[in-house]
């Protein structure tokens, strides 16, 4: 189980990028990446939080805790899947976001609150805690590994004044990192996080912010979409 993340995810930067793709697929408009003590694996922490559709208890059980389940695979007619609310083309594939946490560290905590609907008011958060070192015991079956899964009154997703940060979403925190990060890795992740942010407003409006305690990002060169547009050789107009 633990080896799947190492085999299918190329590196730590790709692993965090897959989690961000999950946030996009979940109709989030804002995603925050927080990394602290990246150079010290024992004290390191990676936290990715979005205010997307979130997950209820059933989704966590079937989506995160069933190894063979691929909820994001294409439908039988092979048409690309769209996100439920904003109808975005799904970026994440084959459950790689779920496997990314294995690549990053040995302990994972997920807090999620599903979006309420007209028929269902969600008044609880789901909390899942996983210590992946327990899966290294080859003498035990998967069903024998303890998993902490519970519901509680909302503490993380209580609703804020910012309309892009409502009372639903998902927070993933990884600790006991598998390896020390380098400045180059942090810079690469920062630049990739800015590239995936959409310069276009509307249903695809998507902003990724990065807060790395170990690195001053203020001097990093960002993608300037206005400059790209001004210096572009070709332009296209679409009539819908």
Q: Report if residue 186 sits inside a domain.
A: yes
The predicted-structure confidence for 143-184, as pLDDT tens digits, reads as follows 777 789 999 999 999 987 677 789 999 999 999 999 999 999
Q: Report if residue 101 sits inside a domain.
A: yes
Are the C-beta atoms of residues 109 and 128 closer than 8 Å to each other?
Answer: yes
- Crossing angle of helices 183-196 and 12-25, rounded to 10°: 20
Q: What pLDDT does residue 202 have?
A: 55
Q: Provide mean pLDDT across the span 11-25.
A: 93
Residues 6 or more apart in contact with residue 138 via CB below 8 angstroms: none
Say what the pTM is: 0.85
**In terms of Cα–Cα distance, which of 41, 53, 119 is closest to 87?**
53
**C-alpha–C-alpha distance, residues 34 and 48, integer Å:** 6
Q: Report if residue 23 sits inside a domain.
A: yes
Average pLDDT, the chain: 83
β-strand partners of 112: 126, 170
The predicted-structure confidence for 38-97, as pLDDT tens digits, reads as follows 999 999 999 999 999 999 999 998 877 765 544 455 555 567 788 999 998 888 765 666
Q: Report if residue 236 sits inside a domain.
A: no
Q: Report if residue 74 sits inside a domain.
A: yes
Report the range of poorest mean pLDDT among 51-55, 124-128, 215-219: 215-219
Number of domains in the chain: 1
Cβ count near 240 (within 10 Å): 2
CATH number at residue 164: 3.30.565.10
Bridge-based pairing of strands 125-131 and 105-113 is: antiparallel
**C-alpha–C-alpha distance, residues 103 and 15, integer Å:** 7
Domain region containing 77: 2-230
Q: Report if residue 237 sits inside a domain.
A: no
Are the C-beta atoms of residues 104 and 177 closer than 8 Å to each other?
Answer: yes
Determine whether 118 is exposed, middle or buried from the number of CB atoms within 10 Å of its CB (0-12, 13-18, 19+). Answer: exposed
Q: Report if residue 161 sits inside a domain.
A: yes
Q: What pLDDT does residue 9 have?
A: 81
Q: Report if residue 238 sits inside a domain.
A: no
């Amino acid at each position: 189980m633990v080896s799947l993340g190492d085999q299918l995810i190329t590196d730590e930067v790709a692993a965090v990028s897959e989690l961000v793709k999950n946030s996009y697929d979940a109709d989030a408009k804002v995603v925050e990446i927080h990394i602290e003590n990246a150079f010290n694996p024992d004290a390191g922490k990676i936290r990715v939080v979005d205010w997307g559709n979130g997950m209820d208890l059933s989704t966590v059980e079937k989506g995160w805790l069933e190894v063979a389940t691929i909820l994001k695979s294409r439908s039988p007619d092979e048409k690309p899947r769209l996100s439920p609310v904003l109808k975005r083309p799904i970026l994440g594939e084959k459950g790689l976001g779920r496997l990314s946490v294995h690549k990053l560290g040995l302990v994972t905590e997920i807090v999620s609150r599903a979006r309420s609907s007209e028929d269902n008011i969600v008044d609880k958060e789901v909390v899942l805690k996983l210590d992946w070192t327990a899966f290294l015991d080859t003498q035990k079956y998967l069903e024998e590994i303890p998993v902490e899964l519970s519901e509680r009154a909302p503490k993380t997703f209580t609703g804020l004044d910012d309309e892009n940060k409502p009372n639903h979403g998902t927070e993933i925190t990884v600790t006991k990192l598998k390896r020390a990060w380098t400045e180059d890795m942090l810079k690469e992740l920062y630049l990739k996080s800015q590239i995936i942010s959409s310069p276009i407003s509307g249903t695809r409006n998507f902003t990724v912010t990065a807060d790395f305690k170990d690195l001053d990002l203020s001097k990093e060169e960002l993608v300037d979409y206005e400059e790209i547009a001004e210096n572009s050789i070709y332009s296209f107009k679409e009539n819908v």
